[in-house]
């Protein structure tokens, strides 16, 4: 019998199996269930090492073991949910750049939909927004390289770069026959997240485009300016449409600006150490005026925390269309050799205990955008994808089937996306007045003021 030469990789798995066996030896009282689970893990590791060895020895072309293992880990983690990922050193560094709040790029929020790189929303004032990139666009090429099967971090890395350098992206837009190529000049992505205007005397408008480290400070300054008007302040529109989220602490603090007490958001995971409840605190400024919060399918994560808190505490009327439904919490762990792991550890819950995950925030008053552009076919009501449309998304409640959570999609006439300039362009009072959802929000506030003064 010919003896097979032991491969070094085999010894790594033998060592792992030895560790598992040692654990069994020191904890015999754990019972049959841990034993069965460890045995299953052991068999899986054996199978994995067998496959690696066979490919290394027999595949038609030479292969890199490290590359194979990395791809295997990628596949394992990516199968969990759309927001978990294994981060090679370059990707881990890119993530750390994100936390500093400034980088060179083109300015889009992206996700993977059926393996295709899809634009969730362009960021206001960035090269992508100025070029006309729209929510729902599919990026099929970056610098002539196909994005099919490309990891999210790889796409981000290719689109980022120093200011004034260029990148070419090819867009496929539903309703248009041919792909279109854009050559974009990278810029420093702006971190300004709060803008405001007076809609009409006594009524203010605040747009929050993302949640960064300055959002609460900038919101407080904007409110002070609006509230100090000579006409008296009667109501506020807070626009969270197409806000992809950001820092959790800023979402909590923004909600706290309007709340005096009670739960803002709670976080619950399988491990109790991840469970947290965040509460509001009394404010020096009591904001008793009526508020309308605008949301849509592009409102995600931190935006949904704010909208859910204000809705549950009856502090604001939520208007628009159901939000994205990104109600999961991720953490990032540093691994050896510069690698990182981003994975989901918990779900967000509104003050009433409702899960945001895959359900989103349902508005108190549904107001779809008016037709301001050509008819555009879309997968969701306003042309944006929701969390529940993403492959491997988490359910709102662990183990609960999707059919128990959602009603069938509306089969009526499709809505159209409004002119994106009313959301992403510099604040222009005339454009705001043409925005149907903003007009409806303002009418609601004015109606409240009228009814308040009517004697029954």
Q: Which residues lie below 8 Å from residue 261, measured CB to CB, with a gap of 6+?
A: 279, 280, 281, 282
Which helix (H) or strand (E) is 304 found in, with range? helix 302-312
- Would you state the torsion angle of the CA atoms of residues 384, 369, 241, 324, taken in this order, to the nearest 10 degrees? -40
How far, CA to CA in Å, does 422 sit from each of 50, 430, 440? Answer: 57, 9, 14
326 flagged as catalytic: yes
CA–CA separation, 136 and 159 (whole Å): 18
What are phi and psi for residue 273, nearest 5 degrees?
Answer: -65, -15
Burial status of residue 377 (CB atoms within 10 A of its CB: 0-12, 13-18, 19 or more): exposed
Residues of 71-88 as b/e, b for ≥16 C-beta within 10 angstroms? Answer: eeebeebbeebbbbbbbb
312 flagged as catalytic: yes
Which helix (H) or strand (E) is 3 found in, with range? none
Of the candidates 312, 378, 388, 420, the residue annotated as catalytic is: 312
Of the candidates 49, 84, 121, 301, the residue annotated as catalytic is: 301
375 flagged as catalytic: no
Which residue bears the tokens 């050559």?
183
CA–CA separation, 137 and 116 (whole Å): 10
Of the candidates 234, 326, 388, 416, the residue annotated as catalytic is: 326
Decide: 160 and 105 in contact? Cβ < 8 Å: yes
CA–CA separation, 251 and 353 (whole Å): 17
Decide: 368 and 119 in contact? Cβ < 8 Å: no
CA–CA separation, 371 and 383 (whole Å): 12
Decide: 366 and 321 in contact? Cβ < 8 Å: yes
The catalytic residue positions are 301, 312, 326
């Amino acid at each position: 019998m010919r003896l097979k030469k032991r491969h070094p990789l085999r010894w790594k798995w033998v060592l792992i199996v030895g560790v598992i066996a040692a654990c069994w030896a020191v904890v015999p009282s754990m019972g049959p269930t841990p034993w069965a689970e460890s045995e299953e893990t052991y068999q899986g590791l054996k199978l994995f090492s067998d496959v690696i060895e066979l490919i290394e020895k027999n595949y038609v072309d030479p292969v890199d073991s490290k590359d194979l293992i990395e791809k295997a880990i990628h596949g394992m983690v990516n199968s969990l949910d759309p927001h978990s990922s294994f981060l090679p050193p370059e990707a881990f560094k890119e993530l750390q750049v994100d936390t500093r709040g400034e980088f060179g790029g083109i300015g889009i929020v992206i996700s993977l939909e059926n393996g295709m790189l899809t634009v969730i929303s362009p960021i206001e004032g960035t090269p992508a927004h100025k070029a006309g990139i729209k929510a729902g666009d599919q990026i099929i090429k970056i610098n002539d390289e196909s994005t099919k099967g490309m990891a999210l971090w790889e796409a981000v890395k290719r689109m980022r770069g120093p200011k004034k350098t260029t990148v070419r992206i090819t867009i496929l837009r539903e309703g248009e026959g041919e792909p279109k190529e854009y050559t974009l000049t990278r810029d420093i992505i702006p971190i300004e997240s709060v803008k405001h205007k007076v809609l009409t005397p006594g009524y203010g408008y605040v747009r929050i485009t993302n949640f960064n480290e300055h959002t609460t400070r900038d919101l407080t300054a904007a409110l002070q300016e609006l509230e100090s008007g000579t006409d008296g302040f009667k109501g506020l529109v807070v626009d969270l449409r197409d806000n992809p989220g950001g820092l959790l602490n800023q979402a909590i603090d923004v909600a706290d600006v309007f709340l005096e007490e009670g739960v803002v958001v709670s976080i619950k995971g399988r491990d109790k150490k991840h469970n947290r409840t965040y509460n509001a605190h009394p404010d020096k400024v009591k904001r008793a005026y009526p508020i309308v919060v605008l949301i849509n399918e592009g409102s995600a994560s931190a935006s949904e925390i704010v909208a859910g808190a204000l809705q549950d505490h009856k502090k604001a009327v939520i208007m628009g269309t159901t939000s994205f439904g990104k109600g999961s919490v991720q953490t990032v762990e540093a691994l050896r050799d510069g690698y990182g792991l981003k994975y989901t550890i918990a779900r967000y819950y509104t003050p009433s205990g409702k899960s945001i995950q895959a359900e989103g925030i349902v508005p108190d008053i549904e107001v779809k955008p008016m037709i301001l552009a050509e008819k555009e076919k879309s997968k969701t009501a306003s042309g944006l994808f929701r969390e529940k449309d993403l492959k491997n998304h988490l359910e709102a409640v662990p183990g609960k089937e999707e059919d128990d959570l959602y009603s069938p999609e509306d089969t009526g006439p499709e809505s159209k996306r409004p002119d994106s300039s009313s959301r992403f362009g510099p604040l222009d009072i005339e454009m705001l007045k043409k925005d149907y959802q903003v007009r409806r929000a303002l009418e609601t506030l004015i109606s409240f003021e009228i009814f308040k003064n009517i004697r029954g």
